[in-house]
Amino acid sequence: NKPTQNYIRPCYFLIPSRGTPLSRLLCNCDEVSAGLASADTIFALSSGHGRCGVAVVRVSGPASVTSLRSMAGLTGSLPPPRKALLRSITDPLTREVLDRGLVLWFPAPHSFTGEDSVEFHIHGGPAVITAVLEALGSVPGMRPAEAGEFTRRAFQAGKLGLTEVEGLGDLIHAETEAQRRLALRQMSGELGHLYQDWSNKLKRCLAYVEAFIDFSEDELIEDGVLNQVDRVVCNLQTEMEQHLKDKRKGERLRSGVQVVIAGATNAGKSSLLNSICQRPAAIVSPIAGTTRDVVETALDIGGFPVLLIDTAGLRDSLDVVEREGVRRARERVEQADLTLVVVDCSNLPIDTQQAAAFLQEHLKSVMSTQKQNNCLLVLNKTDLLPEEQRQNLDMELRQVSGLPPACLISCHSNEGLQDFLTALHGNPLVSTVIYCNRISSIKIMKCDTIFAIY
């Protein structure tokens, strides 16, 4: 039976509960829905992505003032406009102190974007930056800015001179391009598959809902499509919550990129670790099997946090302790973001073509083929090779396909070490993974908030 009432002009207000005045209620529900991604307050790290003394995190939009109050502990009056104020910066949920830094309050229209804006000047350590960005992401109504969004807002508010905009397009282009490359790279990984799967499920749900809305009751839209959507969304929500709680991934986001040094015994792994950190972090000796456990060193490569991990040399051993060390080494290789496979090049066959085949074999013994994409070959002890052989080897490795990039170095003479560091630094895995990981975890959190409204 179809409803028989006449077409009444619907009244667009909410029926309030528990005797609250209507206008008040409307405010409340605005705050609730402000959790949606489209409620337009944006934030971003505005001072480059490297390690630096001071980092500036910028917030723009109507919820800026909320972020200022909840993160700088300003319950009373706001600070005077455009005056720096030294405050403890806290996580709005846990009240944990994240850093001590300057906050600046720029009420509209006197700000870069013409909107209410806040700047947090914090210490430049990656851990602090991550923590502050994540804390901002948890403030209702806030989302990470898209590339160029601050500038676009500034421009629209008539805040930017023409000369200031020139060249900006190129900058944004570079940023988007880096993100695109990273996204592509991520998409091939395990996390990528997970995100892709979520994205497909969500799109399917949307398609179902749209079809349900756009085709009438009589048009054979199968019964139960909405129940199906409910189920999928519910499962997704659980999955995302668990993903966010996952300690291992959380740890990795915070501690940076894991770079594992692996290889046969006595290839010079620990020497490489010491050369990179420029201090004797690991014991080195000519005796094979010196390193038995995993040695971790946190360092900063090109402004990015890297956990460099030295492992036991891979060989079959009867020693129980050493066998455990080798097991751990293999485990770390499988978890690594990047593996440096160290080879003693004085052990290579003299014929360079055979050498390439030898290296391919050797890689197989160290790691699975899949992992070889995230790997760098380090051919150590070049000082032991005759000059001519070294050059031939270098040439051959540049031409041969099916091998990861290779660097010839000598930890003994430091020859080639600088080139190796440049290669490591320039590896995009090291530089961009961190920032984008941070952003994607904030985005998953937002997704979770939206599901809560659904």
Partner 1 sequence: MLAKKTPLLQSFRSLVFRHASHLSRQQYDVIVVGGGHAGTEAAAAAARVGAETLLVTQKKNTIGALSCNPSLGGIGKGQLVKEVDALDGLCGRAGDWAGIHFSILNRSKGPAVWGPRAQLDRQRYREFIQSELLSTPRLTVLEGSVEELLVTEPNPEEPGQHRVKGICLANGNHPISASSVVLTTGTFLSGSLFVGQTTSPGGRIGDAPSSPGLSQTLRERLGLRTGRLRTGTPPRIVKDSVDLSEAQLHPPDSHPTPFSFLNTHTHCKPEEQLPCYLTFTTPGVERVVRESLHLNCHIQQDAKGPRYCPSIESRVLRFPGRRHQVWLEPEGMASDLLYPQGLSMTMPPDVQLRLIREIPAMHRAEIHTPGYGVQYDFVCPTQLSPALQVKSTQGLFLAGQINGTTGYEEAAAQGLWAGVNAARWALSMPLVALSRTESYIGVLIDDLVSRGITEPYRMFTSRAEYRTSLRPDNADLRLTLKGFEEVGCVSSLRYQKAVRVRDKLQEALAALEAIALSSAKWRKKLPGIHMTVYKSHCDLQKKEIERVQKEENMCLSPDLDYFSLPISLSEEVREILDRVRPSTLGAASRLQGITPAAVINLLHYVKYTGQKERGIHRNQPNQKEQGEEQRCQHDCEH
Q: Are 343 and 381 in contact (CB under 8 A)?
A: no
| Residue 21 binds partner 1 (CB under 8 A) | yes
| Torsion from C-alpha of 111, 113, 117, 122, nearest 10 degrees | -90
Here's the x/- map for partner 1, 334-363, by CB under 8 A: it reads as ------------------------------
**Nearer Cβ to partner 1, position 45 or 259?**
45
Name the H helices within 161-280.
162-165, 168-188, 190-214, 225-245, 247-255, 269-277
| Residue 33 binds partner 1 (CB under 8 A) | yes
**Nearer Cβ to partner 1, position 24 or 245?**
24
Q: For the segment 157-216, give every residue that binds partner 1 (CB under 8 A).
A: 162, 165-170, 172-173, 176, 210, 212-216
Bridge partners of 97, per DSSP, are 90
Q: For the segment 89-148, give every residue that binds partner 1 (CB under 8 A).
A: 146-148
| Residue 30 binds partner 1 (CB under 8 A) | yes
150, 144, 178: which is closest to 165 by C-alpha? 150
Query: What distance lies between CA 118 and its chain's CA centroid?
Result: 24
Residues contacting 72, CB < 8 A, separation 6+? 85, 87, 88, 89, 90, 103, 120
Shortest distance, CB of residue 37 to partner 1, whole angstroms?
A: 10
| Residue 29 binds partner 1 (CB under 8 A) | yes
| Residue 156 binds partner 1 (CB under 8 A) | yes
Residues contacting 408, CB < 8 A, separation 6+? 345, 379, 382, 390, 393, 394, 397, 416
Contacts of 152-161 with CB under 8 Å at 24 or more apart are: 153/60, 153/113, 153/114, 153/115, 154/112, 154/113, 154/114, 156/114, 157/109, 157/113, 157/114, 157/115, 158/114, 159/111, 159/112, 159/113, 159/114
Shortest distance, CB of residue 7 to partner 1, whole angstroms?
A: 4
Shortest distance, CB of residue 25 to partner 1, whole angstroms?
A: 9
The 10 Å CB-count burial string (b at 16+, else e) for 111-122 is bbbbbbbbbbbb
**Nearer Cβ to partner 1, position 216 or 242?**
216
Shortest distance, CB of residue 452 to partner 1, whole angstroms?
A: 15
| Residue 227 binds partner 1 (CB under 8 A) | no
In angstroms, what CA-CA distances link 27 with 13, 24, 93, 311, 366?
12, 5, 22, 58, 61
Q: Which of 190, 219, 222, 223 binds partner 1 (CB under 8 A)?
A: 219
Shortest distance, CB of residue 41 to partner 1, whole angstroms?
A: 10
| Residue 12 binds partner 1 (CB under 8 A) | yes
Looking at residue 51, the DSSP 8-state letter turns out to be -
| Residue 239 binds partner 1 (CB under 8 A) | no
**Nearer Cβ to partner 1, position 16 or 302?**
16
How far apart (Å, rounded) are the C-alpha atoms in residues 323 and 319? 6
Here's the x/- map for partner 1, 40-79, by CB under 8 A: it reads as x---------------------------------------
Helix (H) or strand (E) holding 361: helix 352-366
**Nearer Cβ to partner 1, position 212 or 358?**
212
**Nearer Cβ to partner 1, position 30 or 96?**
30
| Residue 18 binds partner 1 (CB under 8 A) | yes
**Nearer Cβ to partner 1, position 109 or 215?**
215
| Residue 392 binds partner 1 (CB under 8 A) | no
- Give me the residues that bind partner 1 (CB under 8 A), please: 2-23, 26, 29-30, 32-34, 36, 38-40, 146-148, 151-152, 155-156, 162, 165-170, 172-173, 176, 210, 212-220
